[in-house]
Amino acid sequence: MNIRLGIYEIFSRIIPGGVYMVALGQLLVILGVVTIDLQTINNLSLIASIGLIVVAYILGGALDKLALILFMLFKKPGFSARSLAEFKKRHQDRWIIDFKDEDWTVLLAYIRTKNMELAGEIDRHNAISIMSRNIGTGLVLIAANSLIQFFLSRVLIYIFMCVIMLLLSVLTLREAVKFRGWFYDGIYETTLAYRIDLEKSITPVEPSAQARKGRKV
C-alpha cells in the first residue's frame, strides 16, 4: 500500500496534532493520570512512532474547528473580499479585474489544471495558515494547563508561563491571518498573470540605427 504525505497534511494536520498531543499529555501529567518517561519516548519503535503520527493527524483534523473559532477572532468577516479589493486597487491603473472573491476556489482549481507545482506553492500558504491557527490554539491549551498547575501548586512561575503562552498564541494567530492573505493574493496574482496577453502587453521594439551601430562596436 502506497501512503503519501504531502506538505498540506504535514503542516495543516500532523504538526498541529503534535502540539495538541503535547497539551493533552501535559494535562494528564498535571492531573496525575499518567507519568511520562522521556527515555521511553526516545526508544519508541517504528510502529509506535507511526501510531503517534496517525493520532496527531486525527487530532489535528478533529480540533481544527476549535482553532477556526479563535482564528475568526483575528480574521474579520469579508477577509477574501478585502484582499481582492486591495489587489484591484494596486492594479487598477493597468488591468481590469472582473472576477469575484468568492470565485477563489474555482480560480485555484483552474491554476491546478495549468500548473500543479505553482498551485502547490499557493496551497503552502494556506497550509501554513491552518498550521499557525492550530498551533495558536494549542498554545492556549498549554496556557490553561499552566493556570491549572498554578492553582494546584500555588507557584507563581506558572502564571508567568501562562502569560507567555497566551502572548505567543496571539502572535501565531496573527501570522495565520497574514498567510491566509498571502494565499488569496497568490490566487489572484496567478489568475491575472494567466489572463494577460503578453504579445500585446510586451511589444518588441526595433532597435534604432544608433543602437545597432553601438552593438557592432
Going residue by residue through the chain (217 aa), what tens digit of pLDDT does each one get? 344 556 677 888 889 999 999 999 999 988 888 777 667 667 777 787 888 888 888 998 889 999 988 888 888 778 888 888 888 888 877 777 778 888 898 999 999 998 888 988 999 999 999 999 999 999 999 999 999 999 998 889 999 999 999 999 999 999 999 999 999 999 998 988 887 755 555 555 555 555 455 444 4
Residue 152 lies in a domain: yes
What is the per-residue pLDDT for 6?
66
Hey, what's the cell of 6?
504531502
Residue 104 lies in a domain: yes
CA gap 141, 6 in Å, rounded: 27
Tell me which residue range forms the domain holding 85.
7-197
Residue 206 lies in a domain: no
Cα Rg of the chain, angstroms = 25
Hey, what's the cell of 75?
480574521
What is the per-residue pLDDT for 2?
42
What is the per-residue pLDDT for 3?
47
What is the per-residue pLDDT for 49?
81
Cell 480560480 appears where?
107
Residue 50 lies in a domain: yes
**CB-based contact 179:132 (threshold 8 Å):** yes
What is the per-residue pLDDT for 135?
94
Residue 59 lies in a domain: yes
Residue 213 lies in a domain: no
If one counts the domains in the chain, the total is 1
Residue 88 lies in a domain: yes
Residue 193 half-sphere exposure toward CB, CA atoms < 13 A: 11
Residue 214 lies in a domain: no
What is the per-residue pLDDT for 80?
83
**What burial class does residue 37 get, using C-beta atoms within 10 Å of its C-beta: 0-12 exposed, 13-18 middle, 19+ buried?**
exposed
